[in-house]
């Protein structure tokens, strides 16, 4: 199967480096270099208000590795990764293909700059494609020609929503969006989901972080409780150990505890339909 990127080029209006974007800010939290002054400035103010954001970003990345290996080991051979972000190796297809070399991946992000990296870092090995689309338009993602060529909805699919739903507010219809994305998935499909929360570490910094995202970046932020996040798994049975703090989901090394564990401000879980 050939590699695919959804757009050949972008107008200057599409590539706005003057406004912080969550994907590029996340890249900065991870220590990456693919970000711009506006992203770094906003990210630094967030890290000043809530230093554990950086720790949480890294634990989210580690959770992704473990979750992808799990679903592929369970027999899934096709993945839709929504909210891909700036490519950071190992990417989803690289992790998946450590288990099975034939896994197909449709990457999705709404940042044209992420798309600019896709050909070199995500789709160059084949059996992978990139869709420039926004999670707020789920039907557009599912019906995109790249998605349709890569993903067979008659076979189990792993849908990845990692650290993306906290940028979709209830007013924007977060629950309906997830329902639209999952209703076409056949039995045996998996939902990999992670989400930021203030459940474990309550301080005034969360309000300051939300203000930066809501007033300056390209997406608003909404923290949710564990109960609210669990609701996104409607129609899915959670795999053990359920929806838990990121480092506690099937750890493959030492697990933090006490104050160190509270620094990981996110839930992660995997469900099977």
Return the SS3 of 192: strand
User: Is the CB of residue 213 less than 8 Å from the CB of residue 38?
Assistant: no
Exposed, middle or buried, 160 (CB in 10 Å: 0-12/13-18/19+)? buried
What pLDDT is stored for residue 97 in this prediction? 96
Distant-in-sequence, close-in-space partners of 114: CB < 8 Å, separation ≥ 6:
23, 84, 85, 86, 87, 130
Minimum mean pLDDT among 66-75, 146-155, 160-169, 216-225: which range? 216-225
| Token pair recorded at residue 21 | 């974007």
Q: What is the spatial distance between Cα 140 and Cα 212, in angstroms, rounded to a whole number?
A: 29
Residue 78, Ramachandran bin (φ over 0: left; ψ between -120 and 50: alpha; else beta):
beta
Minimum mean pLDDT among 77-81, 87-91, 227-231: which range? 87-91
What pLDDT is stored for residue 15 in this prediction? 67
Q: Quick one: what percent of the chain has pLDDT higher than 70?
A: 95
Q: Which of 192, 84, 82, 191 is nearest to 139 (CA)?
A: 82
What pLDDT is stored for residue 72 in this prediction? 98
- Say if residue 3's pLDDT is above 50: no
Considering only the C-alpha atoms of the chain, give the largest distance between any 2 of them, rounded to a whole number of Å: 50
Higher-confidence residue: 218 or 227?
Answer: 227
Q: Quick one: what percent of the chain has pLDDT higher than 90?
A: 76
């Amino acid at each position: 199967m050939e590699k695919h990127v959804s757009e050949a080029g972008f107008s200057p209006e599409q590539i706005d480096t003057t406004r912080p974007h969550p994907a590029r800010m996340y890249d900065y939290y991870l220590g990456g270099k693919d970000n711009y002054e506006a992203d770094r400035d906003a990210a630094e103010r967030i890290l000043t208000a809530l230093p554990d954001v950086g720790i949480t970003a890294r634990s989210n990345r580690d959770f992704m590795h473990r979750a992808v290996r799990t679903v592929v080991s369970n027999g899934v051979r096709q993945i839709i990764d929504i909210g891909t972000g700036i490519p950071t190796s190992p990417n989803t297809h690289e992790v998946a293909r450590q288990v099975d070399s034939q896994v197909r991946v449709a990457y999705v992000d709404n940042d044209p700059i992420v798309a600019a990296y896709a050909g070199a870092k995500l789709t160059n090995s084949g059996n992978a494609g990139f869709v420039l689309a926004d999670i707020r338009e789920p039907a557009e993602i599912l019906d995109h020609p790249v998605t349709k060529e890569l993903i067979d909805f008659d076979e189990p699919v792993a849908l990845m929503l990692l650290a993306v739903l906290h940028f979709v507010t209830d007013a924007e219809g977060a629950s309906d969006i997830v329902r639209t994305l999952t209703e076409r998935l056949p039995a045996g499909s998996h939902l990999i989901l992670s989400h930021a929360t203030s459940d474990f570490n309550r301080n005034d910094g969360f309000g300051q972080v939300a203000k930066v995202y809501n007033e300056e970046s390209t997406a608003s932020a909404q923290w949710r409780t564990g109960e609210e996040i669990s609701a996104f798994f409607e129609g899915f049975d959670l795999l053990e150990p359920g929806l838990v703090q990121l480092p506690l989901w099937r750890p493959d090394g030492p697990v933090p505890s006490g104050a160190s564990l509270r620094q990981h401000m996110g839930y992660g879980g995997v469900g099977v339909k």
